[in-house]
């Protein structure tokens, strides 16, 4: 069970209020129709799936309903940092 700090509510809330929303920082291609099927498939489906720190999106579904980013260690499950959409992820995780 995670305890997640929502950067909008500015409170630590229980995991059941949140939903996971996939890997963060994947830009949508500017001109999708110019891509090959392989390139479009890459954008849609290929993820880094790292062992260790992972930058991911969460949404505060039962709370403010806003999206934000989380830097989470996929081995220890430790949440290293939380930051807003539009902000750059911290280099090393420091919550």
Partner 1 sequence: MSEPPGVVCRECPDRVFANVRGDSGDLRLRRAVAQVAGLDLPREPGTWNRADRSRAYWLGPDEWLLVVEGDDGLALEERLRDALDGPFSVADVTGAQVQLELSGPDAGKVLQKSSPYDFHPRKFPPGRCAQTVFSKTTALVAAREDGAFDVVFRRSYADYLMRWLADAAAEYGYRLE
Footprint of partner 1 on this chain (CB under 8 A)?
A: 8-11, 13-14, 16-17, 62-66
CB of 57 to partner 1, least distance (A): 16
CB of 8 to partner 1, least distance (A): 5
CA distance 65 to 63: 6
SS3 20: strand
CB of 58 to partner 1, least distance (A): 15
Q: Give how far the C-alpha of residue 20 lies from the chain's centroid of Cα atoms, to the nearest Å.
A: 8
Q: Residue 56 binds which one of partner 1, Zn ion, none, with CB within 5 to 8 A depending on kind?
A: none
Q: Residue 35 binds which one of Zn ion, partner 1, none, with CB within 5 to 8 A depending on kind?
A: none
Q: Count CB-CB contacts under 10 A for residue 61.
A: 14
The answer to whether the beta carbons of residues 58 and 70 sit under 8 Å apart is yes
């Amino acid at each position: 069970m995670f305890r997640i700090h929502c950067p909008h509510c500015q409170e630590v809330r229980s995991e059941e209020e949140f939903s996971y929303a996939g890997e963060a920082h994947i830009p949508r291609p500017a001109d999708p129709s110019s891509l090959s099927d392989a390139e479009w498939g890459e954008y849609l489906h290929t993820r880094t799936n790292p062992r260790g720190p992972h930058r991911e999106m969460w949404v505060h579904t039962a709370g403010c309903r806003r999206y934000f980013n989380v830097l989470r260690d996929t081995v220890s499950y430790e949440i290293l940092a939380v930051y807003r959409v539009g902000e750059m992820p911290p280099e090393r995780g420091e919550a």
